Amino acid sequence: MAAPVAIHLEFGGGAELLFNGVKDHHVTLPSQPDPWDVKQLLVWIQQNLLKERPELFVQGDSVRPGILVLINDADWELMGELEYQLQDQDNVVFISTLHGG
Amino acid sequence: MTDEVGYLKAQLEEKEKDIVALKNKLAHLEKSNASVLELYEKVTPLTPLKAKASLSNEDIMRYSRQLLLPELGVQGQLNLSKTSVLVVGCGGLGCPLAQYLAAAGIGRLGLLDYDEVELSNLHRQVLHGEENQDQAKALSAANAIKRLNSTVECIPYHLQLSSENALQLIQQYDIVADCSDNVPTRYLVNDACVLSGKPLVSASALRMEGQLTVYNYHGGPCYRCLYPVPPPSETVTNCSDGGVLGVVPGIMGCFQALEVLKIASGQGSSCGQQLVMFDAQDARFRSIKLRPKQAGCAVCGENPSVTRLVDYEAFCGSAATDKCRKLNLLSRDQRITVQDYKSIMDTAEPHLLLDVRPLVEVDICHLPTSLNIPLSSLEYRKSEHIQLLQESISQLKQQMEGDCRPPVYVICKMGNDSQKAVQVMEKMSGSEVDSITVKDISGGLMAWAKRIDPTFPQY
């Protein structure tokens, strides 16, 4: 069994509007047989934080186009994307790209 | 006789004075006309920008405070003077960007914008003034830049950047700054920069946040490496819908100017594989390390599928403008006009007027009898708001005689959200909302202000 993981989730660039306007979420992912990865985190967010309109946040098993995921201040592409295994105290940011000027 | 001579002499003297005044006026006009900028409606070839051999005494005095910086120095200043920069969009980002580039002594500025100055631009587009309303933004910006630094060559382009003209235009400049306000233009500018090998200093801003990255620079990623697929158009918010605090694009435009100046002077930018995020609410900047250039990128990868410019509006499923598009979700019998609603008001026909805008917009202006329940509350079935709606409908039923379906008219700013609200309410079950007839008011409050009540504010 993997121990529970406490992580810091942040939403920005307008993505926070899907979470009642709350940017910062300190959450604890419960203990489970395998270690938590980002793919499972997205499912957990949908079930626990995002109650409505999931299509504005996820597409298939990933985030929708136009949302950038950052793990500990780095592009998730550098970290293994959906397969990245979450560590205790990780910081995961979901930022919607801005287009205004 | 003497009287007449005196009279004629006086007349002559007066006419001569008039002639002198007219000559002065003409000379003044001719002089100012000579410095009036020509507005370009299409892309034409430019003469190459000549490098200065040395700084003049006036240059030395003018730029002395930055010449003192070892990071810039005389060589950096000379480098600036031989660099041309294309500014795509003379709005909230483009204005401060162009201003600082001109002040610092950049050689040539291409200022591109298809739009005209509006009153609602002035809070953030700080090169334009009240007297420039309805003028082409490119011209207004160029005139302001000329006042600041007449030695900078300004080329105002009053045109929409397109797949047809973008390459020809961008090839003529050394650095491109993306200060645009919509998704198709961002992909177009990116692809044109990749195809012509130009660094792209890109920023964006909305509400209280900003983002900045330098793309296609020193082997770093391009916009498509990061965003291979455009966002669904319904997830994109523009400044006229979401709002923006003017100083936020101001800060981001200044940041863009900084990176352009570093590249132009020869210091180089450190934002080539970085995303700088600015949160104005928390007063926080954050730098994020981005992925490298992607081998599989459609435009800058090893086997690119995009080898010439494409149709970007089709690719993104949205128009290359930040103007609101008009939705058509309902049938004609589900909609009424503002004139219809005016006569309903005048005949005091019992009804409920439901305003589905967010509270912050209702605070700006609203019709006196309206009930405010934001669209999001209807969509999320917020219980306190559904209860409020139920109470209002049952009160209305009591007012009306017999067993009829009480009319509910839904209004918003432009007539888009009101249509969505009608669809949401029609899907509500009898337990949520009793049988009602629900219609939207086409064109919303802005149509009301234009056609019915000219004293009603527009925003």
Q: State the pLDDT confidence band at B36, using cuts at 50, 70 and 90.
A: low
| Domain architecture of chain B: domains with CATH | 24-316 (3.40.50.720), 332-451 (3.40.250.10)
Q: Considering CB atoms only, which of B181, B226, B229 is closest to A101?
A: B181
Say how far apart CA B95 and CA B88 lie, in whole Å: 11
Catalytic residue, chosen from B239, B254, B271, B324, is: B239
Question: Exposed, middle or buried by CB within 10 Å (0-12, 13-18, 19+), for B10?
Answer: exposed
Among B244, B88, B98, B282, which Cα is nearest to B166's? B88
Say how far apart CA B197 and CA B193 lie, in whole Å: 6
Q: State the pLDDT confidence band at B326, using cuts at 50, 70 and 90.
A: confident
Return the exposure string of A7-34: e unless at least 16 CB atoms fall within 10 Å of the residue's CB, then b: bebbbbbbbbbbbeeeeebeeebeeeee
A101 vs B249: CB contact, 8 Å cut-off? yes
Check pLDDT > 70 for residue B33: no
What is this structure's pTM?
Answer: 0.86
| Number of neighbours of residue B35 by Cβ within 10 angstroms | 10
Chain B residue whose CA is closest to A57: B235
A65 vs B227: CB contact, 8 Å cut-off? yes
Beta carbons of B336 and B439 less than 8 angstroms apart:
yes
Question: Identity (one letter) of the amino acid at B53?
Answer: A
3-state secondary structure of A27: strand
What percentage of residues in chain B have a pLDDT greater than 90?
A: 83
Q: Which residues in A lie closer than 8 A to residue B182 (C-beta atoms)?
A: 99
> Considering the domain A5-96, what is its CATH architecture?
Roll (3.10)
A14 vs B93: CB contact, 8 Å cut-off? no
Q: Considering CB atoms only, which of A65, A97, A101 is closest to B180?
A: A101
Question: What are the sequence ranges of the domains in chain A?
Answer: 5-96
Q: Considering CB atoms only, which of A12, A75, A97 is closest to B231?
A: A97
**Helical H runs in B69-153?**
73-81, 94-104, 137-148
What percentage of residues in chain B have a pLDDT greater than 70?
A: 98
* Most confident range, picked from A1-5, B280-284, B391-395: B280-284
Residue B84 DSSP symbol: E
| Number of neighbours of residue B44 by Cβ within 10 angstroms | 11
| pLDDT at residue number A78 | 96
CA-CA distances (angstroms) from residue A21 to A10, A30, B250, B435? 11, 25, 24, 33
| pLDDT at residue number B31 | 59
Encoded tokens for B132: 């420039």
The owner of tokens 């004075």 is B17
Q: State the pLDDT confidence band at B32, using cuts at 50, 70 and 90.
A: low
Q: State the pLDDT confidence band at B403, using cuts at 50, 70 and 90.
A: low
Residue B72 phi, psi (nearest 5): -105, -70
Say how far apart CA B21 and CA B175 lie, in whole Å: 48
pLDDT tens for A20-58 read 889 999 999 999 999 999 999 999 999 999 877 888 999
CA-CA distances (angstroms) from residue B200 to B75, B213, B306, B429? 23, 8, 18, 52
Say how far apart CA A10 and CA B401 lie, in whole Å: 54
Q: State the pLDDT confidence band at B259, using cuts at 50, 70 and 90.
A: very high
Check pLDDT > 70 for residue B16: yes
Chain B residue whose CA is closest to A80: B291
pLDDT tens for B139-177 read 999 999 999 999 999 999 999 999 999 999 999 999 999
Q: Which residues in B lie closer than 8 A to residue A66 (C-beta atoms)?
A: 227, 230-232, 235-236
| pLDDT at residue number B24 | 86
| pLDDT at residue number B134 | 96
The pLDDT mean for chain A works out to 94
Check pLDDT > 90 for residue B318: no
Say how far apart CA B31 and CA B47 lie, in whole Å: 25
Q: What is the separation of C-alpha B135 from the centre of its chain, rounded to a whole number of angstroms?
A: 15
Check pLDDT > 60 for residue B123: yes
